[in-house]
Structure 1
Amino acid sequence: MPLAEIPLSVWRKRSRTFVFRGQSIRYWTVGQGEPLLLIHGFPTASWDWHYLWQPLAQRYQVIACDMLGFGDSAKPRNHTYSLLEQADLQQALLAHLQVEQAVHILAHDYGDSVAQELLARHYEKRIEVASCVFLNGGLFPETHRPLLMQKLLLSPIGWLLGRAFSREALVKGFRQIFGPQTQPTESELDDYWSLVDSNHGPRIMH
């Protein structure tokens, strides 16, 4: 049975907003039950989860946000982005929603690193994590194979490449990541690019 799609236009209309350290953050929540925090990857946004959104909501209170610098959330320039801050953001969102019980985490890609920080905080008794599932992320440095674009974005010329980043570059990267039977449609690629390009995203990609 195919999973139901949530069009990006509909997804955006369902968003809510809260302020984190002076920055506007878009988030979504649906369902009832134990809290399940979804943490998206680079360079997209929480819309990555839209096929799983309704199935997961049948069992959990599902929570997701576009992290700072991603999707439709604020993308401040001259800001020092960090995984620690993104973990702070996830905890601030849970506090905003008054989630006090142990939270399940489902993370992908860049989100895996944020989830690892939350796990470390679990052992420091700063957050209670009930379970954590990692999807396709660089958990083990010796086996991680970043794309050339990812390496270049971290280089001294990263800021220049980010400004030149285009839909075509995004498509080229996605063609390597998606499987032969799961390649995104042109419409989906337009939507992914819309999320990257929102709020002048390419200028802060590095």
Structure 2
Amino acid sequence: MAILEVMVVGGSTARRPLRADARRNYERIVAAAEETFLAHGADASLEEIARRAGVGSATLHRHFASRRALLDVVFRDRVEALCARAREHARDDDPGRALFSWLRDFNAYAAVSRGLLGALLRADDRDAGPAAADDGCAAMITTAAADLLQSARRAGAVRPGVRTEDLLALVSAISLVAEGPAADGLLDLVIEGVRAHAGER
């Protein structure tokens, strides 16, 4: 896959292939960012990432206009895999089971990434670039969850008033405070709390 440089020209977004040296810098930055974010969290120093990549801060910012843009690139593959799992679950003939199974997937992915998927959802995207609202990782995750929740709501599988943002925030929080069986137990409590019971259907 070609790595493209994003430019804003006359208010519209344009992309062009990176030169070989710029592509190498880009790849080093992404590798260093993944290592640093996983070690130190979403608030890790961008200057430290640049240092690990062997580039200057100006080079990092030339490739990535914001922390959110860098997080999006580092975790896009994981987010795309997570959204693919949502589409697989959507084929289940039990919409409630589909939603709750995907929430378990999200919990597992968030745990592996040390809560960084949740950080993508909480990040301020005002400076994340023109594509952030349309195809950023946060938008992808939110859309996947919303589609499953909508189907579960139509089937009467979840309690009234359950919102996509609340579900994602709860599962993200679990990944930050617990792991293993403890995280699974907390997720069970969340699922039981949003599941519609007989009198609520």
> Normalization by structure 2: what TM-score?
0.27
Task: Write 1 or 2 for the structure with the bigger share of strand.
Answer: 1
Q: Max radius of gyration: which structure?
A: 2
> Normalization by structure 1: what TM-score?
0.27
Task: Write 1 or 2 for the structure with the bigger share of helix.
Answer: 2
